[in-house]
Amino acid sequence: MARGYKEREFREDLKKLYEELCTKQMVFLFTDSHVMEEGFLELINNMLTIGMVPALFDDDGKKAMCDKVRDEAKKKGMGETKDDL
List pLDDT tens digits, range 35-83: 889 999 999 999 999 988 888 989 898 888 888 888 888 888 888 887 7
Say whether both 37 and 70 belong to one domain: no
| The pLDDT value given to residue 1 | 65
Instruction: Please tell me whether residues 4 and 38 are part of one structural domain.
Output: yes
pLDDT for 15: 92
Same domain, 12 and 45: yes
* Structural domain range at position 78: 57-85
- What is the per-residue burial (b if ≥16 Cβ within 10 Å, else e) of 34-57? eebeeebeebbeebeeeeebeebb
Could you tell me if 35 and 41 are in contact, meaning their C-beta atoms sit under 8 angstroms apart? yes
Q: What is the pLDDT of residue 71?
A: 83
Give the number of domains in the chain. 2
Same domain? For 44 and 80 the reply is: no
